[in-house]
Structure 1
Amino acid sequence: MPVVESALTSAPNNSSRNTTSHENQASNISPTVPRSTEWVQQNPQSEESPLALGSNDEQPHNLHIVGPAVTSDNQVLSDYLSSMPSASRGSRIIRPAIGNRSRPVLFTAVQKRPVGLDSNLSFAEERLQLIEKILEPFTSDLVDVYFHKANSCFPLLDEGHFRKQYRENKYAISPALLSGLYAHSITFWNSSPILSRHRRPDGRFIWNLATEAAYSQIHRSPGISTIEALILNIGGREVTALIGNGVLLASSVAMAHSLGLNHSPISWEIPQSEKNLRMKIWWALLIHDKWLSLSHGTPPLISPTLNDVPQPLVETLCGEGSFPEQALNASVYIALIETLSDEIRRVVIRGNNLKIPGAANLRLSYLTVRLLLQRIELEAEKRVRDTGDSRLLNRYMQARRTSEDILILTQELQPEHLADCWLPSSAFAFSTTVSFLLRCALETENSTAGLVQSSSLKIASDLLSALRQHKEKHAWDLGDICLAQHVDVVEKLRAMTPPEDPSAEEVLDFSSFAMAEASYLDQLFPSLWDPLQNVW
Structure 2
Amino acid sequence: MDGSQQQSGGGGRPYRSHLRPACIPCRRRKSRCQTAADNTACVTCLAHQTECYFPEDSRTSESPEPARRRRRAEPRASVEASGLTPARAGVRAAASFHGGAKANTSASMAGSGSAAMGRQASVPVSIAPPMSVAAMSRPGQNYHDRAEGPAMALGSDDDQHLNLHIVGPATTNDSQVLSTYLSGIPGATRSTRMIVPEPASCSRPVLFTEVQKRPVGVILNRSSSAEKLEIIEKLLEPHNEAVIDEYFRKVNVCLPLLDEASFRRQYQEDKTRISPALLACLYAHTIIYWQSSPTLSRYRCPESRFIWNLASEAVYSELHLSPGMSIIKAILLNIGGRPTTSLIGNGVLLGSAVSIAHSLGLNHNPLPWQIPQAEKYLRMKIWWSVLVHDRWTSLAHGTPPHIQKAQYDVPPPTIEYLRQSSTEANSSRFEITAKVFISLVALSEVLGLFLQYVYSVRRERLTTTDLELALNQWTEKLEGPCRRIVLLGSHLEINGAANLRLAYLTAKLLLQRIQLESEKQTEAVNEEQIMNRYSAARMTSEEMLMLIQDFQKDHLGDFWMAVSSFAFPSAVNFLLRCALETENTPEGLVQSHSFKIAHDLIAALRSHQEQHKWDLGDICIAQHAEIVEKILAGVAPDEQGGNSSSLDLQEFDASILDHVFPSIWDPLQNAFTW
Compute the TM-score of the two structures, normalised by the length of structure 2: 0.71
Q: Distance in 2 between matches of 1:12 and 1:528?
A: 47
Corresponding residue for residue 342 of structure 1 = 479
Does the CA-based 8 Å contact 1:489-1:528 persist in structure 2? no
Q: Distance in 1 between matches of 2:215 and 2:389?
A: 29
The farther-off stretch of 183-192 and 415-424 is 183-192
Question: How far apart are 1:86 and its partner, in Å?
Answer: 6.8
Question: How far apart are 1:496 and its partner, in Å?
Answer: 1.1
**Structure of larger gyration radius:** 2
Question: How far apart are 1:460 and its partner, in Å?
Answer: 1.1
Question: How far apart are 1:294 and its partner, in Å?
Answer: 1.2
Question: How far apart are 1:325 and its partner, in Å?
Answer: 1.2
Compute the TM-score of the two structures, normalised by the length of structure 1: 0.88
The 3 A distance-change label for structure 1 pair 489 and 47 is closer
Corresponding residue for residue 230 of structure 1 = 331
1:530 and 2:666 correspond? yes
1:397 and 2:535 correspond? yes
Q: Secondary structure at the match of 1:93?
A: strand
Q: Distance in 1 between matches of 2:261 and 2:187?
A: 38
Does the CA-based 8 Å contact 1:30-1:225 persist in structure 2? no
The 3 A distance-change label for structure 1 pair 508 and 142 is closer
1:489 and 2:627 correspond? yes
Q: Name the amino acid aligned to 2:654.
A: A
Alignment of 1:211-250 (within 5 A): 211-250=312-351
The 3 A distance-change label for structure 1 pair 360 and 47 is closer
Q: Secondary structure at the match of 1:146?
A: helix
Corresponding residue for residue 564 of structure 2 = 426
Q: Secondary structure at the match of 2:277?
A: helix
Q: 1:201 aligns with which of 276, 299, 302?
A: 302
Q: Distance in 2 between matches of 1:487 and 1:281?
A: 38
Question: How far apart are 1:175 and its partner, in Å?
Answer: 0.2
Q: 2:650 aligns with which of 497, 509, 514?
A: 509
Corresponding residue for residue 361 of structure 1 = 499
Q: Name the amino acid aligned to 1:149.
A: K
- The percentage of aligned residue pairs carrying the same residue is 53
Q: Name the amino acid aligned to 2:434.
A: A
Q: Distance in 1 between matches of 2:125 and 2:646?
A: 84
Corresponding residue for residue 108 of structure 1 = 209
Does the CA-based 8 Å contact 2:575-2:595 persist in structure 1? yes
Q: Name the amino acid aligned to 2:269.
A: E
Corresponding residue for residue 6 of structure 1 = 91
Corresponding residue for residue 265 of structure 2 = 164
Does the CA-based 8 Å contact 1:33-1:274 persist in structure 2? no
Corresponding residue for residue 330 of structure 1 = 434
Q: Distance in 2 between matches of 1:232 and 1:105?
A: 29
Q: Distance in 1 between matches of 2:195 and 2:661?
A: 58
Q: Secondary structure at the match of 1:137?
A: coil
CA-to-aligned-CA distance 1:8-66 (integer Å, 9 cap, x gap): 46442388xxxxxxxxxxxx98833888xx976xx9xx9957xx423111100110011
Q: 2:603 aligns with which of 465, 473, 479?
A: 465
Question: How far apart are 1:501 and its partner, in Å?
Answer: 8.0
Q: Name the amino acid aligned to 1:371.
A: L
Q: Name the amino acid aligned to 1:203.
A: S
Question: How far apart are 1:118 and its partner, in Å?
Answer: 2.3
CA-to-aligned-CA distance 1:343-402 (integer Å, 9 cap, x gap): 212211111211111111111111111111111222223345999933322222111111
Does the CA-based 8 Å contact 1:29-1:57 persist in structure 2? no
Corresponding residue for residue 153 of structure 1 = 254
Question: How far apart are 1:486 and its partner, in Å?
Answer: 0.5
Corresponding residue for residue 129 of structure 1 = 230
Does the CA-based 8 Å contact 1:484-1:527 persist in structure 2? no
RMSD: 2.8
Total equivalences in the alignment: 510
Structure 2: stretches of 5+ with no match in the other structure: 1-82, 96-106, 108-123, 129-134, 443-473
Q: 1:454 aligns with which of 580, 592, 615?
A: 592
Q: Secondary structure at the match of 1:54?
A: coil
Q: Secondary structure at the match of 1:208?
A: helix
Question: How far apart are 1:322 and its partner, in Å?
Answer: 2.9
Q: Secondary structure at the match of 1:108?
A: strand
Q: Secondary structure at the match of 2:622?
A: helix
Structure 1: stretches of 5+ with no match in the other structure: 16-27
Q: Which has the higher contact order (CA 8 A, sep 6+)?
A: 1
Q: Secondary structure at the match of 1:478?
A: helix
Q: Secondary structure at the match of 2:441?
A: coil
Q: Secondary structure at the match of 1:336?
A: helix
Alignment of 1:30-179 (within 5 A): 31-32=138-139, 48=151, 52-83=153-184, 90-179=191-280
